[in-house]
Amino acid sequence: MKNKRSLRFLAVLGVFSLIVAACGDGGVEFEAGELGAVTVEAGEAIQIRSLNAISGEVAFLGIPNQRAVEMAIADYGQIQGHDVSMGTGLDDLCSPEGGQQAAQTIVSDEQVVGVIGTSCSGAAEGAMPLIADAGLVMISASNTSPSLTSDLEGTAGTSYFEGYYRTAHNDLFQGQAAANFVYNNLNLTKVALIHDGDPYTNGLTTAFENAFVELGGEIVIHTAVAREQTDMVPVLTEVAGFGPELIFMPIFPAEATFIVQQAGGVSGLEDVEWMGADGISVENFMNLPESENMYFSGPDTQFASNTNESTDLSGEQFLADYESEFAEAPSADFWGHAYDATTMLLEAIEEVGVVDGDVLHIDRLALREALTAVTGYSGLIGEISCDEFGDCGSSVISIFQHNNLADHQASKANILYTYPES
Amino acid sequence: MSTEVAPEVAKTRRFKFNWVDSFLWFVRVAAIIAITIGVVGSFQNFAAGEGPSAVAWRDLIISSISTGSMYGLIALGYSMVYGVLGFINFAHGEVFMSGTMVGLISATILFRSGFWDSNPFISIFVVLIVAMITSTLVAIVIERVAYRPLRGAPRLIPLITSIGVSFFVQYTFAGLFGVALRNYPPAPPQLAQTISIFGLPISGTRALVIAVAIISMIGLWYFVTKTKTGSAMRAVAEDKEIAGLMGIDVDKTIVTTFAVGGAMAGVAGLMWALLFRGVDFLTGFLPGIKAFTAAVLGGIGNLPGAMLGGVILGLFEGVGPLLVLGGLGIPGVSQLKDAVAFAALVLVLIFRPTGLLGERLGSEDRV
């Protein structure tokens, strides 16, 4: 009986001392805002995460982004004496489920300050509710769906969450650019649109439709294929029945490959022009002989002469560094956006971080405010200024024609149209 | 259910109102009306010059028949296994995928060495043999490892096991060959030409696919009806116990059934290579489900039924959305092709529950 009593007393004492230790203060003046704060102890690294499509058919899109994040962290160096770490690169699977799963992993670690990602707009729609709820920030290098930010006229997009930013363009620009090109430069008035249900592809075809109809063109059919669909002959037959002059299919490589390979067998499509977007201006699709002479719209990537103000790295040097470290050129076009997104985040962390001896406090709300306030930041992609809904990217879109199966970089330099027209 | 009723009672029996039966009749009538309006609408559009041209319709029909023949070959495996063992082997889609995936490896080797371009038809034949051997081996291994130990178990157990085996094979192949979609080398130019059959221009690949399906079907029919092993298979399908008593080695016959089903799936793998070219570890999933649907559509357990079900399913999913829904004025219907295909299954079963050519069930399943 006596043993039990003293044991219980010791237990209570132990718990009490634990509570005191946890609530212990270091006599600091820092007070966290309403979203809380991250405390980086002495010797610990500041934690950010990379969330991109790094596996499967769309790995071509995500791997360059993740590598650009690694390079940016290495180039930026320490913040207030703390290293920056991105941990293991996470996979967004280019789907809402993948984004949500990865987001759950991220928010379960309370030390994570921000995320660079996702690759695909659909994944961002799955991830953002969790990320916004946990107070983190996410800066995307390649999401372009308007639903994630706004309609550029003051109304928030249907999937807009606070804490979301992107250095990639809003697809309303790309839709307008593509429509201008087709109507004014190619002088075609009948266009068929094919998307795949994803927010990015559907957002882009809708943006194109609105812009094209306003110019005076006609959308003969606006249809979709399913992801992982393999038999495209029925949908191509249907499209051919409407007699389009051009087919705009801003979809992903797997479905696009099946479409162009099977289009040869469908009568009525012999003289049709084909156009895709940044989802398929990637190596494995551009290697197909059937993709020759296709038009591709996408963000302008002539960054050779731009310089990132945080690391003093020019676009040209980035490509040289990338090539020497990874033995290949970037396989997709958003490397500059990913690099700038990372340096932008690190700059903001440095700005709002409160130093207290060896410890660094990062207030989450202050970080969001700092990112929203970014204006005139010089990055590899040009000048970056964020609006209230997180659209920070430059809106320069260029359209090229694929005329060199062997040298894709040469094709990408074969630019036929740039938006905004100067 | 047939009830023998004395004539006097039958005369006085009155019509009994039954909600379920009435609903089913309503569905039948509504379906017929909707489909008729759709088809008539499509014909009107066609006469008015709108929509796909006659050439486009013809090509679509031929393309659907060739895809359907592929489904039919895979469906044969489902039907045979159901006839003999009484459960649906969901792993059969993966048997098909393994054939086409390993065929891709051999095709890539042939392509890299230049043999593919110089001797196209021999190369295709080599890929066919490789695919058939792989599929057969995978089917036999699955039977030995996963199904034979469950021979006496209630039918639900091997069904669930087959689902597990399906995932196992998918992800094993994902681990072995990676998850990226890989393409077969392009079909040789001689094959891509249009050839004329009975005055009908058909693309060479589609014609080859249909021809291979017909040859395989004839070969299978000959095997099943004229050879001793085939007769043994039919006997075991009819009644396993009695067949065993008659001196037939039931185990060996079941293995043969799986092997033949696997070989047919291997041939289907070659067809996939010619028609669609892109293969990844999930390639077998949807064709597997559609082939199972085709087998049920034609009458489960019935081999000609499986082939017919496959071709009809191919036509439903290829031509159906455009013909019926397009005629009803709904735009962009090709995304619904899978929905149409499975809706067609439901409708056929509502009209004819035993499938188009009737089921062939073993003694344990027959009422």
Contact flag A56-B338 (C-beta cutoff 8 Å):
no
Contact flag B181-A254 (C-beta cutoff 8 Å):
yes
| Chain A nearest-CA residue for B334 | A235
Buried/exposed code over B151-178 (b: 16+ C-beta within 10 A; e: otherwise): eeeeeeebeebbeebbeebbeebeeebe
Looking at residue A156, what DSSP letter applies? B
Query: B366 pLDDT exceeds 70?
Result: no
User: Measured on CA atoms in the order B188, B189, B194, B198, is the torsion positive or negative?
Assistant: negative
Separation of alpha carbons B33 and B29, rounded Å? 6
Contact flag B52-A238 (C-beta cutoff 8 Å):
yes
Task: Write the Ramachandran bin of A176: left for phi over 0, alpha for psi from -120 to 50, otherwise beta.
Answer: alpha
Separation of alpha carbons B220 and B231, rounded Å? 12
How high is the pLDDT of residue B148?
93
Same fold, A38-168+302-391 and A172-299+399-419: yes
Q: How many residues does chain B have?
A: 367
Other Cβ atoms closer than 10 A to A45: 16
How high is the pLDDT of residue B314?
93
Asked if CATH classification 1.10.3470 holds for the domain at B63-351, the reply, yes or no, is yes
Q: Domain spans of chain A?
A: 38-168+302-391, 172-299+399-419
* Coil/strand/helix, residue A273: strand
| Chain B nearest-CA residue for A289 | B186
Task: Write the Ramachandran bin of A136: left for phi over 0, alpha for psi from -120 to 50, otherwise beta.
Answer: beta
A38 strand-pairing partners: A362
| Chain B nearest-CA residue for A226 | B335
A117 strand-pairing partners: A51
Separation of alpha carbons B52 and B169, rounded Å? 41
Contacts of B218 (CB under 8 A, 6+ apart): none
Query: B281 pLDDT exceeds 60?
Result: yes
Instruction: Check whether the bond before A420 is cis (ω within 30° of 0).
Output: yes
Whole-prediction pTM:
0.79
Query: In angstroms, what separates the C-alpha of A376 from chain B's closest C-alpha?
Result: 40
Q: How many residues does chain A have?
A: 422
Decide: B300 and B80 in contact? Cβ < 8 Å.
no
* Coil/strand/helix, residue A309: coil
- Which residue stretches of A303-401 are H helix? 315-326, 335-352, 364-372
Decide: B91 and B162 in contact? Cβ < 8 Å.
yes
Q: Nearest CB to A226: which of B50, B180, B335? A: B335
Query: In angstroms, what separates the C-alpha of A314 from chain B's closest C-alpha?
Result: 33
For B229-244, what is the mean pLDDT? 90
Token pair recorded at residue B34:
């909707």
Decide: B193 and B275 in contact? Cβ < 8 Å.
no
Check CB contact of A235 with chain B, cutoff 8 Å: yes
| Chain A nearest-CA residue for B185 | A288
Contacts of A46 (CB under 8 A, 6+ apart): A38, A40, A79, A82, A83, A84, A85, A113, A349, A360, A362
Decide: A99 and A118 in contact? Cβ < 8 Å.
yes
Separation of alpha carbons A8 and B176, rounded Å? 58
Sort A214 into a burial class: Cβ within 10 Å, 0-12 / 13-18 / 19+: exposed
Query: B367 pLDDT exceeds 60?
Result: no
Q: Domain spans of chain B?
A: 63-351
How high is the pLDDT of residue B120?
83
> Which residue would you say has higher pLDDT here, B333 or B78?
B78
Show the beta-strand stretches assigned E in A351-396.
Answer: 354-356, 359-363, 377-379, 382-384
Q: What is the mean pLDDT of chain B?
A: 87
Residues A258-293 have pLDDT tens digits of: 999 999 888 889 899 999 998 888 888 888 888 999
Contacts of A206 (CB under 8 A, 6+ apart): A175
Q: What is the dihedral of CA B11, B13, B14, B15, to 10 degrees?
A: -100
- Which residue stretches of B299-356 are H helix? 303-320, 326-327, 337-351
> Which residue would you say has higher pLDDT here, A9 or B75?
B75
How high is the pLDDT of residue B240?
87
- In CATH, the architecture of A172-299+399-419 is 3-Layer(aba) Sandwich (3.40)
E strand or H helix at B64? helix B54-85
Residues A142-166 have pLDDT tens digits of: 999 999 999 888 899 999 999 999 9
Query: In angstroms, what separates the C-alpha of A241 from chain B's closest C-alpha?
Result: 4
Contact flag A261-B338 (C-beta cutoff 8 Å):
no
Contacts of B273 (CB under 8 A, 6+ apart): B100, B103, B104, B107, B127, B131, B184, B279
Buried/exposed code over A274-293 (b: 16+ C-beta within 10 A; e: otherwise): bbbbbbbbbebbbebebbee
The upper half-sphere exposure of residue B352, i.e. CA atoms within 13 Å in the direction of its Cβ, equals 13
Separation of alpha carbons B235 and B249, rounded Å? 11
Q: Which of A219, A235, A238, A259 is best to mutate for the B interface (most B CBs within 10 A)?
A: A238
User: Measured on CA atoms in the order B248, B251, B253, B254, is the torsion positive or negative?
Assistant: positive
How far the first Cα of chain B sits from its last, in Å, is 9
Separation of alpha carbons A229 and A248, rounded Å? 18
Q: How confident is the model at residue B121 (pLDDT cuts 50, 70, 90)?
A: confident
Query: B362 pLDDT exceeds 80?
Result: no
Taking alpha carbons only, the member of B18, B17, B93, B37 closest to residue B272 is B93
CATH of A38-168+302-391, picked from 3.20.20.70, 3.40.640.10, 3.40.50.2300, 3.40.50.1820, is 3.40.50.2300
Give the whole-number percent of chain B exceeding pLDDT 90: 48
Check CB contact of A193 with chain B, cutoff 8 Å: no
How high is the pLDDT of residue B5?
59
Query: B220 pLDDT exceeds 70?
Result: yes
Residues B297-355 have pLDDT tens digits of: 999 888 999 999 999 999 988 888 888 877 777 776 777 788 888 888 888 888 888 88
Residues of chain A with pLDDT below 50 are 26-27
Separation of alpha carbons B316 and B348, rounded Å? 11
- Which residue stretches of A185-334 are H helix? 199-215, 233-241, 253-263, 283-286, 315-326
Residues B129-158 have pLDDT tens digits of: 999 999 999 999 999 999 999 988 898 999
**In A, which residues are within 8 Å of B181 by CB distance?**
57, 253-254, 257
Check CB contact of A221 with chain B, cutoff 8 Å: yes
Q: What is the dihedral of CA A227, A231, A235, A237, to 10 degrees?
A: 160
Separation of alpha carbons B95 and A15, rounded Å? 60
Other Cβ atoms closer than 10 A to B7: 6
Contact flag B52-A222 (C-beta cutoff 8 Å):
no
How high is the pLDDT of residue B7?
60
How far the first Cα of chain A sits from its last, in Å, is 89
Query: In angstroms, what separates the C-alpha of B148 from chain A's closest C-alpha?
Result: 34
Separation of alpha carbons B208 and B125, rounded Å? 12
Q: Which of B43, B67, B96, B181 is best to mutate for the A interface (most A CBs within 10 A)?
A: B181
User: Measured on CA atoms in the order B298, B301, B303, B304, is the torsion positive or negative?
Assistant: negative
E strand or H helix at A76? helix A59-76
Separation of alpha carbons A334 and A144, rounded Å? 11
Q: Nearest CB to B60: which of A226, A234, A258? A: A234
Other Cβ atoms closer than 10 A to A208: 30
E strand or H helix at A8? helix A2-22
Other Cβ atoms closer than 10 A to A347: 18
